[in-house]
Amino acid sequence: MSFATIAPKQGGFMFGRLHHIAYRCKDAQRTVDFYTNVIGLKYVAGLMPPENNKPTWPLNEPGQPARKVVGEEADSIHIFFELGDGSYLAFFDVPGGGDDSADPTPWWVKHIAFEVADMKALLDGKARLEAHGVQVLGPKDHGLCQSIYFMDPDGHRLEMAVRTETKETWPKLEKDATKELMRWNELKRRKYGPLPKAVDDIPAMPADSTIVNA
């Protein structure tokens, strides 16, 4: 695929700021404890899909046969921590994903979400991507934002998001965040066994670690 067929616009189609970046964690409760008590971030949301939720979008995992998948078909909780600029650090707890030693993290977990100004910018972005032959999913309404999803050439999952929350959205999510985390802990205990230990065994840096310029 060539990306040089459409002339770039200087100052044109650009991401605004980071909306959130998402990684996998082994245990939501332990992650909340660490990032709130140790790092000092505010835990603001815990989003769980319904237990009987069914995938609704077709998107192929790179190199795999076509199948229905959006990510929400697995037991998971998506937890959010607010950063100083209004963006978020997010994690997925996906206990059914297998042994981390083989990195079986579901492909939809790791992604970078960039914020755009409004719905017009989101739809313009989708049109531009599709004009380059990029497969795009969405927009999908998440309640707090609408998003489109696509892959870069190396298979990294990217998201463009426009905020659609009202002034009541995040206060309500924050109010419910602890309750949702407790609900997740109960589901996880019931289906996957005892929770890991609390934050008491943070991995040490390797003995031969050195600091390098990045």
Number of helices (H), then strands (E), in the chain: 3, 8
DSSP labels, 54-70: ----B-PPTTS---B--
- Please identify which residue in the block is written with the tokens 């739809």: 123
CATH no. for 18-192: 3.10.180.10
Token pair belonging to 118: 């409004």
pTM for this one?
0.62
Residue with tokens 């996906």: 94
Q: What is the pLDDT along the chain (214 residues), one digit of tens a residue?
A: 445 444 445 555 567 888 999 888 889 998 898 789 877 889 999 999 876 554 444 444 445 544 443 444 578 999 999 988 899 989 899 887 655 556 777 777 888 888 889 999 999 989 988 888 889 999 999 888 999 998 877 677 889 899 999 999 999 999 999 999 999 999 999 999 888 776 666 677 766 555 544 3
pLDDT digits (tens, 9 = 90+) for 85-97: 899 989 899 887 6
**Residue 65: partners with Cβ closer than 8 Å, 6 or more residues away:** none
